[in-house]
Amino acid sequence: MGDKKKEQLLEELLEVQKMLETSEAQGQMIKKLQIHITNEDLHSKVINFFPYPLAIFTPQYTVAMANNAFIAEVKIAGIVLGKEAIHIFQYKINDIQLVAAITGVFAGETYFLKDLKSPFSMFSETMQPGASELDRFHRSIVFPVQANDGEITYGVIVFMP
C-alpha cells in the first residue's frame, strides 16, 4: 500500500473516530460506514481497523464480518468467520434493548443504545456475562445497510465505551 493510500486511510479513520465522539455527528458516521460496507464488499480496511468493535450481520442473524477490535474483545480468534457461522440468537442475550435493536434494524430502524449489560455475551457460549474486561462497552449503535434497490442486506452493530 502506497504512502498516499495509507495517509488517506488514516485520515478517514480519524474523521470517523471524531464523529463518534460527538452525538450530533453519529448520523454522519453511520452514513460513512454504510457507504464503505456497500462499496467495498465488506472487506474495507477502514472497517477492519476501525477502533471500536464492529460486527456486520445478515437478516438470518449470522455474523458476516467482524473487525479486528470486535474479534479481540470477544476472544473468538479461533473461530474463522465465514467457515463457521456465528449466530447472534444462538446464545442468551442479557439486554432486551439489544434484542429489539437487532431485530428492528431489518425494518430500517437505527438504534442508539445506552447502559448495555454484557452485550458481547450474545456471540459466545463461553463468554461470561459481565466479564470485567468488557464492562467498558456500555453504548451501541445498530443501523441498517441498504442495497441499491433499497433492500436491507445487513445490520451493523458498533460497540462504544
Give the CATH number, domain containing residue 74.
Answer: 3.30.450.20
C-alpha cell at 39: 462499496
Read off φ and ψ for residue 19, nearest 5 degrees: -65, -40
Does residue 153 fall inside a structural domain? Answer: yes
The pLDDT score that the predictor gives to residue 77 is 37
For residue 48, the Cα-to-chain-centroid distance in whole angstroms is 10
C-alpha cell at 59: 437478516
**How do 63-66 and 111-113 pair as beta strands?**
unpaired
Evaluate if residue 102 carries a pLDDT over 80: yes
The pLDDT score that the predictor gives to residue 4 is 66
Does residue 62 fall inside a structural domain? Answer: yes
Report the number of distinct structural domains present in the chain.
1
Closest-CA residue to 127 (of 74, 85, 86): 74
24: confidence class by pLDDT, cuts 50, 70, 90: low
The pLDDT score that the predictor gives to residue 135 is 62
C-alpha cell at 42: 465488506
Does residue 43 fall inside a structural domain? Answer: no
Does residue 5 fall inside a structural domain? Answer: no
The pLDDT score that the predictor gives to residue 79 is 47
Does residue 126 fall inside a structural domain? Answer: yes
Does residue 3 fall inside a structural domain? Answer: no
Does residue 84 fall inside a structural domain? Answer: yes
pLDDT per residue as tens digits for the range 68-86: 888 887 764 344 455 667 7
What domain range is 77 assigned to? 48-160
Does residue 139 fall inside a structural domain? Answer: yes
Within 10 angstroms of residue 42's Cβ, the number of other Cβ atoms is 15
Torsion, Cα of 77, 8, 43, 161 (10° steps): 50
**pTM summary value:** 0.69
Half-sphere exposure of 106 (CA within 13 A, CB side): 11
For 150, residues 6+ apart whose C-beta sits below 8 A from its C-beta are none
